[in-house]
Structure 1
Amino acid sequence: MDELIDILDTDGNYTGNSIMKSEAHKRGIFHPSIHVWLYTKNGEVLIQQRAKNKDTHPGLWDVSVAGHIGAGEDVMESAIREVKEEIGLDITENELYKLGVYKYSYQHHKDLLDCEFHHTFLSELKTPFSALKMQESEVDDLALITLTSFQKELESNVNSKKYVPYEMEYYETVLNAIQKRL
């Protein structure tokens, strides 16, 4: 789905201008997004398999919830909205812990350079897994994986290929932060 998003400079600062997401991806223009990593007190992380029709990383396993921040939209409101849209879960601002903002750039092909700043949050998943409702246009599957298994898969040359290729440092930051909250 195409949407109007804000333009950021290469340091993640808002420029005051907006652009359609498709054009930003075509031209490699930085823009803001959200990542929400949901975890259980049992040391599991919720991951989602991206829909196979997505233009970026189709079919790969990814963060629990990810999405673009609409032009002029508040970061926290965007995170809450995306969680509701993608997995049918109602959360509040108090349930989100902001981990940080991470710069990301990935050349999918010659006409798609995705340049984002991920506003990254953690939140405890208190709702039963069976109660989650996938947004079919965005998500093909959901799974819970233990922190230990997730770490091993990310470090494996074979298994890591099924995940969105973020820098290992990003994954380690998220997993360490979750571990500290358990």
Structure 2
Amino acid sequence: MDEYIDILNDNDEVSGKTCLKSEAHKLGLFHASVHIWIIDYNNNVLIQKRAADKDVFPNLWDVSVAGHISAGENQLVSAIREIEEEIGLSVLKEHLYYIGTFKKKIVHKINLIDNELHHIYICRINFDFNSLKIQVEEVSEIKTMKLKKLIEEVSKEKNKFVPHGNDYYSFVFNELKKI
């Protein structure tokens, strides 16, 4: 789904310019997204498999929920909205813990460039897995894994997970262990 997003400046701040997400990706314009890692009180981490027809990294396992921050939208509001849209889970802002940002620029092809600032959250909440409803345009499957097992899988089975990079995964996994 195409939507208007804010373009960021070199200081990671909203520049005052907006454009369609497709245009930002075509031109490699710097913009923001949210990544939400959902973990329950038994250390089960929810992960999603990206839909088969996604432009980038189809059929790879990824963060619980991720999405672009709409133009004019607060990042916390965006995180809550994306969780509801992608997996049908309603959360409160009190469930979300902001852990930091991560910059990433990947040139997938000449007219598809991800140049993003990921605002990363952990959502600590117990949930009924069977009541979750995936957004099939974005997600093909969801499952939970014990945190320890997920860490092992990401390091051993790199071709099955979105290649966010060792620094990203180390940062997130260290924060999840602290919870």
* Residue of structure 2 equivalent to 1:60: 60
* Residue of structure 1 equivalent to 2:172: 174
Report the CA distance between 1:163 and its aligned residue.
Answer: 0.7
2:149 is paired with a residue whose SS is helix
Structure 2 segments unaligned to the other structure (5+ residues): none
Structure 1 segments unaligned to the other structure (5+ residues): none
Report the CA distance between 1:56 and its aligned residue.
Answer: 2.0
Deviations, residues 67-106 of structure 1 (Å, cap 9, x unaligned): 0011111111110000000000000111100011111111
* Residue of structure 2 equivalent to 1:32: 32
The one-letter code matched in structure 1 to 2:109 is: H
1:35 is paired with a residue whose SS is strand
* Residue of structure 2 equivalent to 1:79: 79
Q: Structure 2 CA distance, aligned partners of 1:171 and 1:148?
A: 13
How do 1:123-162 and structure 2 match up within 5 A? Answer: 123-156=123-156, 159-162=157-160
Q: Structure 1 CA distance, aligned partners of 2:46 and 2:36?
A: 10
The one-letter code matched in structure 2 to 1:70 is: S
Report the CA distance between 1:23 and its aligned residue.
Answer: 0.9
Q: Does residue 163 in structure 1 map to residue 161 in structure 2? A: yes
2:6 is paired with a residue whose SS is strand
**Kept in 1: contact 2:35–2:119 (CA 8 A):** yes
